[in-house]
Structure 1
Amino acid sequence: MTDQSQAPSVAPPRETTSALSRIREIVTSSPIVMLATVLIILIVLSALFAPWVVPHDPVRLTPAERLKPPSEVYWLGTDAFGRDLFSRIVTGGRISLVVGVGAAIAAVLAGLVLGLLAGYIRWLDAVLMRMVDGMMAIPNILLAIAIVSLWGASLWTVLVAITIPEVPRVVRLVRSVVLSAREEPYVEAAIAAGSSTWLIMRRHLLPNTIAPLIIQGTYICASAILTEAILSFLGAGINPETPSWGNIMAEGRIYFQINPGIVLWPGLVVSVAILSINLLGDAVRDALDPRMAQRGIDR
């Protein structure tokens, strides 16, 4: 005899095709996305293996070689202190990627927890969302500069300063998804069966947030890389002695007319990295979206 106390499982069936297979299909079917993926892999690998990739010491001062044009010895030329520009750009990618990925992970995790609570627990909604609205009224860059000014410039300070302004946007995104999902029949069935709040959020609400959070996380990663560059360019970011894309551009802006490459090359790398991350995020979002997967099956 069937136990009537157990609510029937009415959650939507899962697609038999794995998410990884759909991601691979979307990436390989689009030349632009494939190029973006290759560029991201190259940037990440070059940053990880920077000590073995760079031809020169990125922090060694060589005044006699200052502001040299590109050559066989210095592929992108040198800066105002005689340091190899290519070596500094490759090494600076380590800091920029750490800030971008770290800020994205931290903001998504914090926003996910707060968004789930705000969307499902009604009495917390009013309190949390008023705090979120207040934080969103402050421009990201101004809040980041204020945090760095209070705590001092360091990698961790910049990481926190970039993460905090991004959390409210994730909270609002997750809350909107949860408010829509909690009205679904399978969630109502779980509530009627007496499932705990934690179980409902973990099993029924959390999976609905994965696809939106993937694309939001890529936007945050790209935005964090750009914000770090802006903070360093303004002198409110990483220690100027530490190579980062923003610091390289900040140091080179004075000599732009003499050697424009000091600013243009790191700026080009920042642009390529941000564009590639966004394109890859769109592809992953499409692969994880059940509606996009269904369209692929219909075709």
Structure 2
Amino acid sequence: MMRDQKLTEKPLALRLLSRISPAHTGIAPFIAGFMLLAVLLVTLLSPWLAPHDPLAMDPLLRLKPPSPEYLLGTDGYGRDLLSRMILGGRISLLVGVSAAIVALALGILIGLVAGYFRLADAIIMRAMDALMAMPSILIAIALVALNGPSIGSVIMAITIPEVPRVVRLVRAVVLTAREEPYVEAAVALGSSTPKILFQHLLPNTMAPMIVQGTYIVASAILTEAALSFLGAGISTEIPTWGNIMAEGRQTFRINPWLVLWPGVLLTICVLSINLIGDAARDALDPRMKKREG
């Protein structure tokens, strides 16, 4: 019977898509998805969509107001703001998605071990508690200062504080799932530990991890912007939304658009990701299914 249930059950992605509809979640997630898709397409096509070279400096064009040629104006080095925002979005999104993938991969692996092995649980969770006791922004600043301002070091600095949150979530799911009859049956039949972990327990973590992944992406984008704004992020030679705002704050009173437009784009992107994450949470929440049933 269990085998028949697995054969008739839809894959997680199809179940998620079937439940995210205006009737279930409202129109907001669809607007957010459209806006996020537009940002992704623009940033991915930045080499062809950028109207000017985002790295080209011209002192004669510095701090130009918005005009037909420079739609959002120029910065203090005469670089086109719109072109830099388009290229900067690619870097910011790359950092966010990469940090989420690495944090989820490490957190799921460690969480499976902590939730299934009681002795490892005590050791691992004390280490996770120690990491969570430290402010994540301070950990990020220390790691970037130690390894230098590069994209790789920023991704690592953002990933490490996120791992304990993923570990705790996966561990909680595994602690419940390991007591289920099908897991006990697998143990009684002599299934290997890796098979139990990755075939029986891992699928139970996929739904909450999809939701958690969206929040990590949004948090990582904000953290990267905060680090760059504080001068502890990616090198200023590489445009990101945080770097653009950090450079614009020096002339904010005279040219507020240098901070305003990157901030608006950052807000739209993060808000869209959070709305999509909320919709995914509602679609995958069993309590929502019971209320609708």
Length-normalised TM-score, structure 2: 0.93
Provide the residue aligned with 2:220 in structure 1: 224
Aligned-pair CA distance for 1:283: 2.2
Quote the offset at 1:61 in angstroms: 0.9
Structure 2 match to 1:131: 127
Q: 1:59 aligns with which of 44, 55, 61?
A: 55
Aligned to 1:122: 118
Contact 1:228-1:246 at 8 Å conserved across structures:
yes
Match of 1:26 among 7, 14, 20: 20
1:35 and 2:34 aligned: no
User: Shift of the alpha carbon at 1:259?
Assistant: 0.8
User: Of residues 151, 155, 158 in structure 2, which corresponds to 1:155?
Assistant: 151
* Counterpart mapping for 1:147-296 below 5 A: 147-289=143-285, 292=288
Distance 1:119 1:11 in 2: 28
Identity of aligned residues (%): 59
Task: Tell me the residue number matched to 1:4.
Answer: none
Runs of 4+ in 1 over 6 A off after TM superposition: none
Match of 2:96 in 1: 100
Change (3 A) 1:190 1:9: farther
> Counterpart amino acid of 1:20?
L
How far apart, CA to CA, are the structure 1 residues paired with 2:276 and 2:159? 21
CA RMSD for the aligned pairs?
2.0
Tell me, which stretches of 5 or more residues in structure 2 are unaligned?
none
Distance in 2 (alpha carbons) for counterparts of 1:227 and 1:119 = 29
Separation of aligned partners in 1, 2:277 and 2:99: 16
Residue 39 and residue 203 in structure 1: after superposition, are their counterparts in 2 closer, same or farther (change >3 A)? Answer: same
In 2, the alpha carbon distance for the partners of 1:280 and 1:57 equals: 33
Q: Distance in 2 between matches of 1:267 and 1:11?
A: 51
Q: Structure 2 CA distance, aligned partners of 1:125 and 1:172?
A: 10
> Deviation at 1:71?
1.5
Say whether the 8 Å CA contact 1:22–1:293 is kept in structure 2: no
The code of the aligned residue for 1:168 comes to P
Contact 1:11 1:186 in 2 (8 A): no
